[in-house]
Amino acid sequence: MAETTSLRDAVAQLVHDGDTVALEGFTHLIPHAAGQEIIRQRRRDLTLVRMTPDIVYDQLIGAGCAKKLIFSWGGNPGVGSLHRFRDAVQNAWPAPLEIEEHSHAGMANRYVAGASGLPFAVLRGYRGTDLPRHTDTIKTITCPFTGEELAAVPALNPDVSIIHAQRADRAGNVQMWGLVGVQKEAVLAARRSLVTVEEIVDELTPVPGQVILPAWAVTAVAEVPGGAHPSYAAGYSERDNDYYAYWDSIGRERDSFQRWLDEKVFSQEVAK
């Protein structure tokens, strides 16, 4: 059963140095607060997994938490580059960053294989591209029925997956809706999982298109209102588009980033 706990305790218990960690959320429901708690607890040597490493991964990479990134698109959506990510890849600052690069279709299928308990997934992907030359986790396989050559990618099974959702009940059943991205697959593929939620309620009110993660499929739930900011939670908050533009001015230089880390992350203890 999912344990209901604080964000601080959840990260302390579930995220260890050297772990493979996935924070998912496709523009919507990105678990920013959890990412910053990982920075605050100074985790190191993480293999970070995420289809779209955006601001929250720029922060984790710039803070030196990551040794490797598995991803398919790294940018500040609607704004431009991730400068901390770029600095790590181009200049190895603050630490060298190994990358394992896929396409969205490849990453999505890797999570599906992970959630399905299968060793790999097949897709009609990557053909003609230079990605397989640089990424060991893209191979080809021949269909035993038709003889067609297809791409094979190994399952992703993170040590811990972290997502943000709208609601949970007191038992730890999680409810989310709107753009649900690849979050369900990321949780089901992981050995451990943490879901931060906008609120914990006595009873979940059904919502059209909802996804339910039953309490027995989740390790921990933490109530973190606004935990997706500057991303958003449909029904609770709107995306803070100005913040994404503002991040460009913070992330661009090492100094401004370091100041931001000190002021907005390290000096802000979250409630126990």
Partner 1 sequence: MMSVAAARALSGGQRVFVGIGLPSTAANLARRTHAGDLVLVYESGTLGSKPTRLPASIGDGILADTADAVISVPEVFNYWLQPGRIDIGFLGAAQLDRFGNINTTVIGPDYASPKVRLPGAGGAPEIAANCREVYVVVRQSRRSFVEQVDFITSFGHGRGKGDREKLGLPGAGPTLVITDLGVLRPDPETAELVLTQIHEGVTVEQVRAATGWDLTVAPELTTTPPPTEAELTALRELKAAR
Query: In residues, how long is the chain?
Result: 272
Contact region with partner 1 (CB under 8 A), list: 11-19, 74-82, 154-162, 188-196: 74-82
CA-CA distance, 171 to 252, in Å (whole number)? 43
Interface residue with partner 1 among 178, 212, 225, 226 (CB under 8 A) is 178
Whole-number minimum distance, CB 160 to partner 1, in Å? Answer: 20
Count Cβ atoms below 10 Å from residue 236 Cβ, excluding itself: 15
Among positions 197-236, residues that touch partner 1 (CB under 8 A) are 209, 232, 234
Judged on CB neighbours under 10 Å (0-12, 13-18, 19+), 242 is exposed
User: Smallest gap, in angstroms, from Cβ of residue 76 to partner 1?
Assistant: 9
Q: Which 14-73 residues touch partner 1, going by CB under 8 A?
A: 26-28, 51-52, 71-73
Residue for token pair 């890797």: 110
Q: Which of residues 144-173 bind partner 1 (CB under 8 A)?
A: 148-149
Neighbouring C-beta atoms of residue 87, cutoff 10 Å: 21
Minimum CB separation of residue 131 from partner 1 in Å reads: 7
Per DSSP bridges, beta strands 149-154 and 120-123 are antiparallel
Tokens coding 227: 């935990």
Residues of this chain that bind partner 1 (CB under 8 A)? 26-28, 51-52, 71-75, 77-78, 81, 85-86, 89-90, 101-105, 108-109, 111-112, 123-131, 134, 148-149, 178-182, 184-185, 209, 232, 234, 238-239, 241, 244
